[in-house]
């Protein structure tokens, strides 16, 4: 998977490639779909959610430029696969999932890998963490209509936010960086994610 789907497309960061190689993706896929765990695409995991395409996971992980000392917030645990990859590269990862069933399944898979630096919360997005709790990196694994201000304010100085933003049918993957009280924004390309539902995103009727 890593050689043919990721490195072959130009991904060269050795730490990211090593992290992807170290996480068995099949542990995060429903049993009936495990024969397709290493395919080049997203897979359903229940509740209308998906485990992201491996290449998208790689793009987001590389773009956020994690250091071993970093504190990371992930919004949208889903299967837990992205969390497991991030945990190979950072000091601490807080991941938030609003669906209890998905959080329970992800917690089992993360526990099986012995990832003690992951703290999984069941809550609505960034509201799960204190307003004064800052992170070096924030990743959002669901598409939002706009960039939620509360996620910007969770960034420490020099922090990076990766988030898909746009209509339900097609989003742009954005990289937002904080420099003191100002922010820069750049595009990482087009993508399609499941909707971010809650106060930071779409309403449940829209999503």
Residue ranges making up the domain that contains 61? 2-191
For residue 120, pLDDT over 70 is answered with yes
Least confident piece of the model among 25-39, 64-78, 118-132: 118-132
Instruction: Tell me the whole-structure pTM to 2 decimals.
Output: 0.94
Taking only the tens place, the pLDDT of each residue in 186-197 is 999 999 999 998
Residue 52 in domain: yes
Q: What is the pLDDT of residue 202?
A: 76
Segment 71-98 shows an average pLDDT of: 96
Cα 154 to the center of its chain, rounded Å: 15
How many domains is the chain built from?
A: 1
CATH number at residue 71: 3.40.50.150
Q: What is the reported pLDDT for 203?
A: 72
**Residues 124 and 203: beta-carbon distance below 8 Å:** no
Q: Indicate whether 199 belongs to any domain.
A: no
Return the structure tokens found at 109.
Answer: 């898979």
The active-site residue, picked from 52, 79, 95, 200, is: 52
Taking alpha carbons only, the member of 113, 43, 63 closest to residue 83 is 113
What is the DSSP secondary-structure string of 116-170?
Answer: TTEEEEESSGGGGS-TT--EEEEEE-SBBSS--HHHHTTEEEEEEEEEEES-TT-
> Annotated catalytic, 182?
no
Residue 87 lies in a domain: yes
Q: Residue 151: its pLDDT value, please?
A: 92
Q: Roughly how many angstroms between the first and final C-alpha of the chain, as a whole number?
A: 31
């Amino acid at each position: 998977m890593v050689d043919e789907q990721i490195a072959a497309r130009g991904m060269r960061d050795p730490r990211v490639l090593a992290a992807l190689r170290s996480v068995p993706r099949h542990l995060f896929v429903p049993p009936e779909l495990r024969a397709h765990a290493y395919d080049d695409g997203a897979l359903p995991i229940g509740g209308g959610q998906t485990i992201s395409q491996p290449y998208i996971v790689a793009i987001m992980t590389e773009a956020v430029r994690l250091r071993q000392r970093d504190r990371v917030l992930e919004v949208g645990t889903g299967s837990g696969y992205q969390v497991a990859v991030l945990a190979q590269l950072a000091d601490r990862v807080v991941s938030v999932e609003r669906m209890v069933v998905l959080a329970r399944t992800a917690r089992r898979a993360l526990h099986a890998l012995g990832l003690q630096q992951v703290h999984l919360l069941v809550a609505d997005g960034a509201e799960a963490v204190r307003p004064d709790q800052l992170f070096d990196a924030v990743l959002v694994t669901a598409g939002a209509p706009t960039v939620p201000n509360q996620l910007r304010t969770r960034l420490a100085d020099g922090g990076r936010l990766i988030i898909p933003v746009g209509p339900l049918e097609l989003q742009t993957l954005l990289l937002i960086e904080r420099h003191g009280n100002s922010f820069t924004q750049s595009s990482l390309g087009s993508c399609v994610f499941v909707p971010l539902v809650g106060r930071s995103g779409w309403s449940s009727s829209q999503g």
